Amino acid sequence: MTERRYVVAIDGGSQSTKVLIVDDTGVVHASAQRRLRPTESPLPGRVVHPDDDLWDTLADACREALAAFDGDIGQIVGVGLCTIRFCRVLLDEHGRLVEPVLSWMDERVSRAHEQDPKVRYVTTSSGYITHRLTGHMRDSVGNQQGVWPVDQQKWRWSDDPTAYEQTGMRREQLFELVQPGAQLGAITVQAAEATGLPAGLAVYATANDKAVEALGSGLRDERQVLLSLGTYIAAMTVGDEPISTNEGYWTNFAAEPGRYLYESGGIRRGMWTVSWWRDLLDGGVTDDGLNTGAEAIAPGSDGLFAVLDWLAPSDAPYRRGALLGFDGRQGRFHVHRAILEGIALTMRTHIDAMEAALGRRFESVIISGGGSRSDLMMRIVAAVVERPVHRNRLTDAAGLGAAIAAFVGAGVHPSWATAVEATVRAAEEFEPDPDRASAYRPVREAYALIPRHLDPLLAAWQRIMPRVD
């Protein structure tokens, strides 16, 4: 009998840090999760992770997961590291934080870096965590998303001086880049004391969190689209060309070297809005209770629409979230269903736009993220997109993707394709119910009219009302 090999998969998300110990068939043997503290906004437009929260939660979750693991620690062959994309980390000459990690919601990450004499290094969340784990100033090229001087075709730092001028960064401020699946370094004695991970254990690069999620979802077929139901919701498919950004989608590094992820527009506080509504009820009902109550409501939530701009998109900063259509019939379950429907309706529009831009038709949809655990959400999405949807056995796709990268890096699986085949398992499939699909068509038409009427009001509101952060 072949002896099992294991990896520690780190999935640092927007709301929590998760750590999984996964074997080479994709089975999770131990796990732990720590919620991140709420982000802070010390000044308008600034959003940071307080203190050293990304590292502290990772260290705690690693210790708990390792304590729960009843296998042979000696058979753990590596660590796969995946963290939130679009963050920016400013370090001094000793590699210490100059200020707390800039969230992807911070306005500064979408602008050129402004030089500060206290800042010696500028890196991503994965670069920072790599430094804490290994002592090396290395990072995955696959996590250089946003304003970074990276050559997307050559998968390395740019040779063009204008790229550094445009991003405000100097080459000597940037970490060394490695490919996904390559070794970043090994766990130092200090990191071992903090995390419980064995000193000397290899740490392997992944990519940005959405790309790693796509890998862990088994997305390798151009006829499939992945709908990622996380804090940020987006639809993704795969390709081999770094096609320029256009109105239907944009191009992202994939978690497999040389491949690319084509990503739709998205919802910036997607499943966060579901949690917001549940928490607003102050313990009045659980997720399961909300789903059960909302299941009994007909498509369209009796005319209630949820507009999901709880965090406005960067190209329309005047937008705000809204609930429209109250007439006295609706209650808490209507609001819950309207939010789920708003997610499905918005993403159907984005999927249609990406199909038109790519000139291809997606035959089926993979659903990943926390929202995929809801049968109601799965049925609503299937009816709205009018295609079969399925979820996988392991819903933490980013965690599994990090494990896959580590298995490939450690040589346990000889290729990315064989690693995916060995570890990713499909679970339930939901076919679109014909009656529900028919009922949602006029709802889609009505929902599509909202921006043209609501946008002028919100734009005027922004001019009248002072900004509050």
pLDDT, tens digit, 9 for 90 and up, residues 73-102: 999 999 999 999 999 999 999 999 999 999
- Please, what's the b/e burial string for 86-101 (b: 16 or more CB within 10 A of its CB; e: otherwise)? bbbbbbeeeeebeebb
**pLDDT reported for residue 244:** 67
**pLDDT reported for residue 245:** 62
**pLDDT reported for residue 241:** 87
CA distances from 79 to 130, 190, 413, 458 (A): 11, 16, 15, 46
State the average pLDDT for the chain: 95
- pLDDT tens digit sequence for 45-65: 899 999 999 999 999 999 999
Q: Which of 143, 79, 187 is nearest to 407 (CA)?
A: 79
Q: Where are the alpha helices (DSSP H) in 13-86?
A: 53-68
**Mean predicted confidence (pLDDT) in 381-409:** 96
Query: Does the pLDDT value for residue 192 go beyond 70?
Result: yes
Burial of 389 (0-12, 13-18, 19+ CB in 10 A): buried
- pLDDT tens digit sequence for 142-169: 999 889 999 999 999 999 999 999 999 9
Q: Which of 65, 91, 87 is nearest to 76 (CA)?
A: 65
**Residue 468: which pLDDT band, with cuts at 50, 70 and 90?**
low
CATH numeric code, 6-213: 3.30.420.40
**Residue 458: which pLDDT band, with cuts at 50, 70 and 90?**
very high
**Residue 14: which pLDDT band, with cuts at 50, 70 and 90?**
confident
| Amino acid code (one letter) for 396 | D
**Mean predicted confidence (pLDDT) in 315-322:** 90
What does residue 203 show for φ and ψ, rounded to 5 degrees? Answer: -115, 130
Structure tokens at 320: 């705000």
Burial of 288 (0-12, 13-18, 19+ CB in 10 A): exposed
What does residue 402 show for φ and ψ, rounded to 5 degrees? Answer: -65, -40
**Residue 315: which pLDDT band, with cuts at 50, 70 and 90?**
confident
Torsion angle, alpha carbons of 211, 82, 365, 29, to 10: 150
**Mean predicted confidence (pLDDT) in 360-384:** 96
**Residue 465: which pLDDT band, with cuts at 50, 70 and 90?**
confident
**Mean predicted confidence (pLDDT) in 446-456:** 94
**pLDDT reported for residue 263:** 94
Percentage of the chain exceeding pLDDT 90? 89
Angle value at C-alpha 193, between 189 and 196, nearest 5 degrees? 110
Query: Does the pLDDT value for residue 402 go beyond 70?
Result: yes
How many CA within 13 A on the CB side of residue 8? Answer: 35
Percentage of the chain exceeding pLDDT 70? 98
Query: Does the pLDDT value for residue 109 go beyond 90?
Result: yes
**Residue 313: which pLDDT band, with cuts at 50, 70 and 90?**
confident
Q: What is the DSSP string of 431-446?
A: PPPHHHHHHHHHHHHH
Q: Contact at 8 Å (CB) between 100 and 51?
A: yes
**Residue 248: which pLDDT band, with cuts at 50, 70 and 90?**
confident
**Residue 247: which pLDDT band, with cuts at 50, 70 and 90?**
confident
- pLDDT tens digit sequence for 112-130: 999 999 999 999 999 999 9
Q: What is the DSSP string of 157-219?
A: E-S-HHHHHHHT--GGGSPEEE-TTSEEEE--HHHHHHH-PPTT-EEEEEEEHHHHHHHHTT-
Q: Give the pTM.
A: 0.91
Q: Which of 204, 64, 201 is nearest to 130 (CA)?
A: 204
**pLDDT reported for residue 283:** 77
**Residue 466: which pLDDT band, with cuts at 50, 70 and 90?**
low
Torsion angle, alpha carbons of 85, 206, 250, 223, to 10: -140
Angle value at C-alpha 201, between 197 and 203, nearest 5 degrees? 100
